Amino acid sequence: MTFKNPHFFLLLLFCIPMIWLYILRERKTKVTVRFSDLSILKKLPVSPWLKLRHILPVMRIVGFGFLVVALARPQKQHTEVEVTTEGVDIMLILDISESMKALDFKPDNRLAVAKRSMKDFVQKREHDRIGLVLFAARAYTRCPLTNDYGVLLQMIDDADFTDFSNRTAIGTAIATAANRLKDSPAKSKVIVLLTDGANNAGDIPPLSAAKAAAELDMRIYTIGVGKEGKVPFPVEVVNPLTGQKQQRTQMMDSDLDEKELKAIATLTGGTFFRAQNSEALKEIYDEINKLEKTEIKSISHVSWSEYFYMWLWVGFFILMAETLLQKTVFRRIP
């Protein structure tokens, strides 16, 4: 609570002479009535009003204090902030093909590390709509553009390998994400593609999908994950004698098409990133987060509520009550 006219509190200094004058009057004034014999008066009980006579100056000072506070005009500020955003609509594309099982990001596979970095990226956004496309041999929208990050984070967490995870359709994935963004009214439309392989499935060439996205003013950031050369890959082996399945690790070649991913990013005004470990992947998403900032405009509306009425009325009634008591139960006999 604030006060519009705090200088009126200086009036409270008048309480000092008020108290001083009352004490001075009590000391000097002695009302007496002469009687020939006072013995009978000593037997009379003392009136309780006599003990309460000092309440009058207290009421006078308190009532005066309430009026001073009313003059100072106590107020409470109410601030309403109107926030408008020129947001960014972002479609995240996540590769769930078999190659994402590679263990070069130990102790987890590529998909587990990618999901953690992607979730961390989502949690750092505030006012944007974000969606999710999963792809392998086929692509599908797992989550449309949404501001409900809780649902989106759960869907990222649930992303896993499927029965069509044996191939990689990058072009189809870009086209699926672009189809979700084409009608977006957002100022900036962004696609973040994460993959570890080369396009070997689908009917849409990646560069053709990228050109279509560029014509729709979409920017694509491409992230290639995985180390170069041979990488450890888990393989399920069946024992021919017992039929028992065993998990083994063998070295396989990484088939990331870095050249094509660079071309996709350049064609749309985006950037290509290469992540060969989990720390680098996290830094890449942090860099994209910095590049795609949401413009936020806020307008503050300030209003004030007046509270002096309560202090005014309470002070008025206290002074009226003090005057009434002074003229009745506390009336002095001249």
Whether the pLDDT of residue 165 is over 90: the answer is: no
**Predicted pLDDT of residue 51:** 62
- Band of residue 269 on the pLDDT scale cut at 50, 70, 90: very high
For residue 39, the model assigns a pLDDT of 59
Name the least confident of 177-181, 213-217, 227-231, 261-265: 227-231
* pLDDT for residue 44: 55
Q: What pLDDT score does 78 carry?
A: 73
**Is this model's pTM higher than 0.85 or not?**
no
Strands 245-253 and 188-195: unpaired
**Which pLDDT belongs to residue 151?**
95
User: Residue 58: pLDDT above 60?
Assistant: yes
Domain boundaries, the chain: 1-12+46-81+301-334, 88-293
pLDDT in tens, 174-221: 999 999 999 888 888 999 999 998 999 989 999 999 999 999 999 999
pLDDT of residue 146: 93
**Cα–Cα distance for residue pair 316/313, rounded to 1 Å:** 5
pLDDT for 34 beyond 80: no
Q: How large is the average pLDDT for residues 284-313? A: 77
Kindly tell me if the per-residue pLDDT of 236 is higher than 80.
no
3 state SS of 80 = strand
Q: Are strands 272-275 and 2-3 parallel, antiparallel or unpaired?
A: unpaired
The lowest-confidence range among 12-16, 239-243, 265-269, 281-285 is 239-243
- Over residues 138-148, the mean pLDDT reads 94
Look at 170-184, 262-276, 289-303 and tell me which has the smallest mean pLDDT. 289-303
Q: Tokens for 224?
A: 């290639």
**319 contacts 61 by C-beta, under 8 angstroms:** no
Over the chain, what is the mean pLDDT?
A: 84
pLDDT-derived band at 119, boundaries 50, 70, 90: very high
pLDDT over 70 at 30, yes or no: no
Sorting pLDDT into bands at 50, 70 and 90, what band is 7?
confident
**Residue that wins the pLDDT comparison between 150 and 6:** 150
Structure tokens at 278: 């989990």
φ/ψ (deg, to 5) at 226:
115, 150
Asked whether residue 332 carries a pLDDT value surpassing 70, the answer given is no
- Distance separating alpha carbons of residues 123 and 295, to the nearest angstrom: 18
DSSP string, 51-103: HTTTHHHHHHHHHHHHHHHHHH-EEEEEEEEEEEEE-EEEEEEEE-SGGGG--
Domain 88-293 grouped into CATH 3.30.10.20: no
Q: Is 241 helix (H, G, I), strand (E, B) or coil?
A: coil
